[in-house]
Amino acid sequence: MTTLNIAVAGASGRMGRMLVQAISAAPDATLVGALDVAGSPSIGQDAGAFAGQPTGVLIESDFAAALHNADVLIDFTRPEGTLRHLDYCAANGVQMVIGTTGFDDAGKAAIRLAAGKVGVVLAPNMSVGVNVTLKLLEMAAKSFSEGYDIEIVEAHHRHKVDAPSGTALKMGEVIADALGRDLKQCAVYGREGVTGERDPSTIGFATVRGGDVVGDHTVLFLGTGERIEISHKSSSRVTYAHGALRAARFLAAQPHGLFGMDDVLGLKG
């Protein structure tokens, strides 16, 4: 069995810790590196210390020290940090699985450029269930193209810093593409005051933040006399970790290129 050497960015964060555990438990993967920002109190600690399961891998802030043996870096951090990691990985032949959200157009362009050198899986949500839900939304949007208003409601924990979530935006993009619309032109991100009658060509977004919600997403297709709701609710980040591992395995056969979870899961077409 071929073993993948994997490093984790943001190794002391909530998602990073889940990734460390998932990689340590996988029979075909080895944790070889753990990154965190300089000044983090976790620097120099074993990446598995939080769970009482030492890995023998210390958390580093130096890219070269953390990534010199890595085949793949899994990154669920912040756009600015991910783009710095991306520069290093592209220059040193390390593939990347990117679950970070909130990239602007320049950041997305940098990812596309790096994917000419190394394999990159970029997805706002690595959950297998979410990506199957995206396929269902594409099918539903084509059937409800007329006579239905579309609203997307998402909820996340109080610590999430971007809104709407990357997953909600991806849902909107999938629906807009299926309808032949441009999400940048038809999205409505907030309503207040006298807004006037709803424009039927728009796609609405509502954001909820609070507590420890891992991630809830519901798309409503609201017609006359009926309402269709397609929902996905996450109760644990382990689903994202397992999806990220599937993406890392997929990249083992890709010399370079930019891919999504629909490629990883064979959902295209």
Active site positions, annotated: 156, 160
State which amino acid sits at residue 34: A
Question: According to DSSP H, which parts of the chain are helical?
Answer: 14-25, 63-67, 79-92, 105-114, 128-143, 166-179, 183-186, 238-251, 261-264
CA nearest 35: which of 68, 5, 58?
58
Assess contact for 5 and 70: CB atoms under 8 A: yes
Other C-beta atoms lying within 10 Å of the C-beta of residue 256 = 15
* Distance of alpha carbon 207 from alpha carbon 248, whole angstroms: 31
Beta-carbon contacts of residue 25 (< 8 Å; ≥ 6 apart)? none
For 161, half-sphere exposure in the C-beta direction (CA atoms, 13 angstrom radius) is: 8
Collapsed DSSP state (helix, strand, coil) of residue 62: coil
* 106 class by beta-carbon count within 10 Å (0-12 exposed, 13-18 middle, 19+ buried): exposed
Q: Chain centroid to CA 238: how far?
A: 13
For residue 231, the cross-strand partners are 218
